[in-house]
Structure 1
Amino acid sequence: MSHVQYVDELVKEYLLFRGFSQTLRAFDNDLKAEKEKGFRVDKIVDQLMQYIYNYDLTSLRELWGHLDTRMFSRLESHFASGIRKLENAVLKMYLVNAAVNNKQDRIQEFFTKMAPELQGHSEWKEWFALPFVKNPEDNPIYSVHFSRQWQDTMLVSLHNFLATIFQCMPQPTLLTIDEDTNRLKRLQEENEVLKQRLSEPVKVETVSDVNPGPTPQYPPIMDDFYIIAQESPLMENPKTLKSLIRNIGGGSSPILSRKPVTNIKKQVDPEIAPTKRTNTKGRLNSLSKSDAVAKRSISCDSRLTSSRKRDSSIDTAFERKTKDKIDTGYILLSQEEYTEHKTSIIQCKSNASGSYVATGDADGIIKIWTPIPSPKTVATFTSTTANSNKAVTALDWISKNERYFLHGDNNGLIQLHDTRDCKTLWEIQNEGSRIVTLLCNPAESTFVCSLSDSNEGKLLLYDIKTKKLERTLPMEQNVTALCCTYNHNGQLLITGLSNGNILIHDLRRNEIIDNLSCHSSPVIDIELINDYTNICAQSEDGKLCQRSLNHTSKTIWETKVKIEKNAVHGKLFTFDQSGSHMLLCTQSGGNIYKMPPGMQGKVLELGGHKGTLCCDWSTANQSGTCITGGAEGKARVSTLLSP
């Protein structure tokens, strides 16, 4: 982040050049009011200390809260305890400064404002007695915090922590221009050095007719075989070995659907083949200038070069053809069908290891089964709702224990099931409501549940162990949460609403930090892509789009897909582990697309359904497993060979 101020000046210069005076004034005002201080760590630490010295508790809390929302909440979950310790250290330094300067009123004000937040934490238990302790610097409980060593250590730790975050956080393109320019310049210099090396003439000893000199020493026969071993295409290009393995079985492979090899020769890359001919010609010409080189070696080298050129051309053509056919290399190994359900499969979800799949249908039947090597039922659960309309509308596995899973139905019933003992552990009944979606937190033993009734929707957070309602999350009025997803550490919840908007909740503060207007119809499916900075959402009218969470007004791409209308849906799309490919439900079955799907062709068409209502993609093992559930009551298991 060392170039932020430089880029700010460039932006000002550009605005002034374009005559955007009002924009320039607004930009200057924003720079003066920014809380990141141009991402300068020393300025941020100085600002925090200034608030401490001025006893400005409100501004101190606002600045820390801004840093927490903007940066700390995006870190991995295991950083949470360290962040909390740093925050507590900053607050304790505030109290120490007030105590040293005999500001008892500031200490009283601190505990009055902060008591609701701090009273539940054990490390603050003894600090509530600070206003009543005389000479706290001599008390063994507080004395270490009054020492200069502790204060200096805390400031250094805070400085290093912020510097590390700023160094590792993703940067916008404008800030990386200078770095990219330097990298390009360095690569150009390296290319020039390599070109000079290639242009240097090969030093070959010539034999004079007048003074022939000593008899030239020819290389032994074994050297030719040594050259062949060293310059083999398999050693030079490891991809050739992969292509050789794929070629086993002939040109009529049902997997790759390749055409005869005679057609492949026409697809040789024109930039590769001429280069090889030129290099070969130059090499032979340089060798022909020396009569001292053995004809045997020249002949062998010519055959070797010709063979390498031919093999590389075929290999290049095959790889290009294969890439056109299956893109990055996903190969459909096998497909099986699970036919134990009698009605439409609405929900399907694999556990974390991919060993079990849970599917729920419109009759309230939940099947637990193994997808590999062939589908086999392990357990069956039935919704206990007395009402006839008991379709399974929500289903998810417990994140920290693959033995348990939750399901919700059309009549407000939530149940926790044990797959090993085949029993239901507890249930929660919400009378007069319908469970729209539920999702388990990836880092904590909680789950979020969306309810819908005749009046309004609710978004509830439950504790799994105690089945108690922890709190109701804030929501817009007269809307229902139709889908949701967590970020990687479970601190943020992204929710799609019935009015087409997307909410982002900060669960630690129980507040909405952003409200995005994305669609004109209800958002029925939503998911974060692998880097957790982009979100993909699908609406009821079939609009599928990707948005950036860093630039919420920016739409990266959007397209239209056909979905089953007037049907209860589960997960309609999901991604592979890299986030580069999408499994999408279509009317004829699941299709795999390269991202973005609206601009790329289908990579694989899985098929097998008359209407696809849900899907899941498990990448826990080397062979990825795609599960699709159909309106006809069949689940299709497609095993893929990952690239």
Structure 2
Amino acid sequence: MENMQYAEELVKEFLIFRGFTSTLQAFERELGTDIGKGFHVDKILELIFSVYIPQFRAEDLIEVLSFFKKCFSSASELVLISTLSKLEGSILRYYVVHALQSGRKNKVTEFFGMYGNDLLQRDKDWTSWFAILYLKNPSMDPQFRIYFSQEWFNALHLSVRNFLSEMFNANLRIPALLKISSEKNTVNRLKKDIRQLNVRLSELQALLEEKEAQLFRSRSNASSVLEVRMGQTNGTMSSVTGIPSTGVHEVSVLPSRVSHETCAPASEADSAKDWVVAGPAEVSSELIPSKFAQGSSSKLDRRLGESGTSDTLEMFRDDFYIDTGREMDGEEEFLEVKVDFQETFLCHTSPISRCRFSASGNNIASASVDGTVRIWTYDPSTPASRNATIYCGAEIMSLEWDCKSDRLLLIGTADGGIKAWNVDAKRVVCDLSTTEAFPRVLDLKCSPVEPIFVSAAASRGYILRGLNILYRILDF
């Protein structure tokens, strides 16, 4: 009912727009007498059999029948089109019969003159009907007698009624105006669903960012607690041995340097690492590596007697480098590297294939084999506004940050796609693709001085080939 009212309003709006005031008045009068608010098959039958045929309006009759055929023009309605064509032929035959029964042979001649060729092209059975004008009594002719009977007319009338009722009352054919209202309601419903899904997506993204921030804070707190406990442990060890932790650290570096610079054998190097800190009285004998214990023991004994422990350590360090200086000539010093802290990022659900730092070092981009790229930060003091998840739909083959602006991330995929992600706008600002012959974007590199980047692509199959493409992007 709602669709019908909306369609009527559209018709009125069109008639007013075109200035068809007389038609509008007639339309409103008909609406006033309309009771069922639906399809009226009797009105169509009355128009065909009580208006067009009795008044010999062949042109209007042909037009309304053609209109019905246009309503069933799709390939899936071939059966309906065939049935309607047969009904159309019977209605036109009744037109000829009615004209002969009314004594209007001139209307038959006029009808065949206008539509005879078209009728013959569609149905060869019309050939014999061209001779009906020359029969003295066609109603008695065996070939045409059936068409002049009341039973045949009643059967035709009933067949047309049943066909139209089945087609329109069963909703197999809905007028386009009624479809507009239904489609409008469907579009409104889909828009409402989209808005609700967008709100839900925003809520989930906010919740995900909040969880990531909580997880990051928890890891930072755990690292701080671990560092505090390690500091307490070192202080406890210093109080037990009687030697300050700074002194132990200063002396403990010495064997490591000796073992690397003098190229001692593995057994001697291992023994040089086994230090025992017992107390101030035993420092000189316990801190000397076994390799140099014999050559410098007398010297150390004399100095132990002349000075205290701390002075002895300083003398020992000076003499040690003087005596072994000849062995250190030509050797390169290597500083030890140790891990100060460690953070774990657990937001990927598939194996991670590659990761890249941004030019500023504030953000990290990591890609997994499921085609997902995550942008995150390791420093809690860095804003998390750039954190994002990018779904590329294909395996990630390469990642590269823009060297100049630090706001574009280039992503190369296994299906030949190159995406430029703007971390501030949080969207893909450029989507490129390589040639079909080289779909695997293995590497991407940005120029450090110009707004250009180069891609390295490879082919698939048994014969592998490569291709480099240089791109220049405006407002890079």
TM-score (norm 1): 0.27
Higher helix share: 2
Asked which structure has the greater CA Rg, the reply is 2
TM-score (norm 2): 0.35
Higher strand share: 1
Q: Which has the higher contact order (CA 8 A, sep 6+)?
A: 1
